[in-house]
Structure 1
């Protein structure tokens, strides 16, 4: 791809899909420079522990840093070392360090858009 050209991708045609069945999923698109974008959909009842942890090889906590935007719903993110919970809701732009877990709060679907720089590979 040329350096001065514009690259577009769509979440409907992801490079990778973390399928969490009836609890949702994460569509991942990768750009030519190695950066990536993710669209996460978590249904009511979704928890990191039950629905995502097994897909990542069962680490103690989520090993990734997330920068993103909450498009809908409410997500509670807990830092494992401190136990501090942060409530994310529609309209929040956020930065979450590694070492967390999370769960959907309430009866509304959570939709997030996440961005990762080139050095952050799956």
Structure 2
């Protein structure tokens, strides 16, 4: 068993900006993989601000995340969609678009899908 581990998003190991200044992904690395905190600014949409980086038709990352602030809609390629807000836990399989709802930044923690997210 390893000892205590402390990481902080105030000093992430990596930061990946989104297109057009619409937010960023901060990563801290743990033995089990990276944990990300993403800040999606009002007006952010995956298909506009990450698709040019990912170069896929829709987001192909699976996400297991928790919404800290703001609101976001996730729309699956098959048409299913759900809105998430503060306190909501989210599981989203690959094959989706997403966008911020309203004029508040959406802040999400993700334990699964950010290893290669928004990575050129």
- TM-score, length-normalised on structure 2? 0.87
Indicate how the Cα distance of structure 1 residues 100 and 16 shifts in structure 2: closer, same or farther if over 3 A, else same: same
| Corresponding residue of 1:35 | 33
Equivalent in the alignment of 1:13: 11
- Give the count of matched residue pairs: 115
Runs of 5+ consecutive residues of structure 1 not aligned to the other structure: none
Q: Aligned Cα RMSD in Å? A: 1.7
Length-normalised TM-score, structure 1: 0.85
Unaligned 5+ runs, structure 2: none
Matched ranges for 1:67-82 at <5 A: 67-80=64-77, 82=78
Shift of residue 53, structure 1, vs aligned partner: 1.5
The DSSP-based 3-state class of the residue aligned with 1:116 is coil
Larger radius of gyration: 1
